[in-house]
A = this chain, B = another copy of it.
Amino acid sequence: MKKSLLALAALTAFAGVASAQSSVTLFGIVDQSVFWTKNDNTSLKGVASNQLNSNRLGFRGVEDMGGGLKAGFWLEAGMTNETGAVGGSNGFGSVMFNRRSTVSLMGNFGEVRIGRDYTPSFWNYTIFDPFGTNGPGSMLNLVNPLGGGNVTLVRDNSTVGYFLPAMGGLYGQLQMAAGQGLQGQKYQGGRLGYAAGPLNVAAAYGKTSQTGAMIDGYTDKNIGASYAFGPATLIGQYSKRDYSSLDQKTWLIAGTYAIGASTLKASFTKSNGSSSALQAKQWAVGYQYDMSKRTALYTTYSSINNDTGAAMNVGLGLGSVAGGKSQGLVLGVRHAF
């Protein structure tokens, strides 16, 4: 899905400077679909992006400095292609490279990374879900960050992170953000996983803490696992978020089945919490056809049943009715470059 655009030109420009080998990669995804959604008695149809993968436009590169040392950068913007919008909220306003904006030093010791980045406690949500974090089928439709001012569910600003080097199947990372006096940005978290053969399992913990009472003590714990039986993969995930007297537990059981260029997907997600506003169930089924490595056609259908007081929805532009049902259907094309 990416190309080292500049490899050849770079070699020319830096010919004779052995330690300055470099490549800059321009990469992106444009994903557009037509959708239909119905929340109780209200329905809407139209065009929506991000329903299989998140739209993005990015620039990244790695410099080999010799002696095993490397430096790298990563600048990645989100996009809403049906309107032409680029970037999005970083929790404190709209910015261009809202998805990731980092500089790294890498070596045998692993990687030190500074900037705006995903939190360690986010990754299991997307990796252990056949619908990732996109579209009407994503488990994230039921996940509530509880504290309104908390912005660390997916990413955080001004982070310093450390990633383990390759160590057999073990992988892991730590991250902290000092917060710099901004509400909901002070964060400490980590993730540890193991992937080998058909198995992948990982657990993560994150804490968002700050003098501001509103955010103090928000925690996110989650664990996920997947196991491949030939063409079939079984996936499970469990997460729990706590904030003040509120808590929410979400679990998912899902599977995928690959036949040639086709992949079938199904998931069931259930959320329980400290109030009925946090309780709902979601069924989702999907089909993806890979026209090429970069281009896919897909469809996803899901249905959410809210408990009394809950108003979760499939995220296709319609508000929810408390205790109501929300359905979504998308049919789209995803093109990566």
Contacts and interface: CB of A to CB of B under 8 A. Distances in A.
Contact of A292 (B32, B63, B114): B63
A199 to B, nearest CB: 29
A109 interface: no
What DSSP secondary structure best describes chain A's contact surface? strand
A292 B20 contact: yes
A246 interface: no
A84 B79 contact: no
Given A3-B24, A4-B9, A158-B46, A116 B84 contact: yes
B24 A26 contact: yes
Given A3-B24, A5-B6, A79 B59 contact: no
A263 interface: no
Given A84-B98, A96-B86, A30 B73 contact: yes
A337 B30 contact: no
Chain copies in the assembled complex: 3
Given A103-B32, A335-B72, A83 B4 contact: no
A288 to B, nearest CB: 15
Contacts of A90: 83-85
Given A292-B63, A337-B22, A34 B97 contact: no
Contact of A180 (B2, B14, B44, B66): B44
A3 B28 contact: no
A333 B71 CA distance: 9
Contact of A24 (B5, B32, B100, B291): B5
Interface in A54-85: 57, 59, 61, 63, 65-66, 69, 71-73, 75, 77, 79-85
